[in-house]
Structures are given as C-alpha cells and as structure tokens.
Amino acid sequence: MDSRKVLSGLCYFSIFFAGFLFPLAVYFATGDEMTKQHAKKALLSHLIPLIPTPLIVFAVWYDFATIQDQIPVFTIISIVVLVLIWIIVLIWNIVKGVKVLTAE
C-alpha cells in the first residue's frame, strides 16, 4: 500500500487517537501536496466540534444563573447539537479515511 495513502487515511482516523495533533504534524512534515491537502481537511474537521463549545459554556452558565426551578432547555438543546456535530464529524472522518485508503 502506498505510504501517502496510509498517512492521508491516518489523518482522518486520528480523530480516535491523536485529535488534531497528527494531521498538524503530517501537514508540516510531508512534502507531498495530496497528503498535505488531506491533512488540512482532517485538521479542519477535527476542529469543527470546538466551535460550539463556547455556546455550551454560555448555555450552562446562563441556565444555572437565571433559572431556579425550570428545566434548562437552552443547555439541553446545546448539548444535543454538540453531540450531533460530533457524530457527523466522526462519521465523515471514517468515510473519508476509508475512501482515501481504497482509492486507486
């Protein structure tokens, strides 16, 4: 198997073991443009779930600071959205990793 395919696939699969560090290291260490492109895509997809994190922190703070005896709806909705984003990113990375490894 071609080493650039393996590196590119590992960039996507690193969501399980190295987060954004492995694609970042591959991006700076490799000279192959195709591998760099896959490393950049994988890095961006690993960072996407970090975007709504301030929303979750704000929702928890707001709900617990202002609502006494009610259900924290904003917090529940924010957590559900974050979980959906994680699931979508996880599935996307698995699909892209398999596609890269099986491409001709």
pLDDT computed for residue 61 by the predictor: 81
pLDDT tier at 28, thresholds 50, 70, 90: very high
pLDDT digits (tens, 9 = 90+) for 66-83: 777 777 777 788 888 888
Residue 22 reports pLDDT greater than 70: yes
pTM: 0.81
Identify which has the larger pLDDT, 54 or 86: 86
pLDDT at 59 over 90: no
Residue 89 has pLDDT above 90, yes or no: yes
Whether residue 13 contacts residue 38, with contact meaning beta carbons closer than 8 Å, is answered with no
Per-residue confidence (pLDDT) for residue 1, from 0 to 100: 65
Within 8 A by CB and 6+ apart from 39, the residues are 7, 8, 11, 23, 24, 26, 27, 30
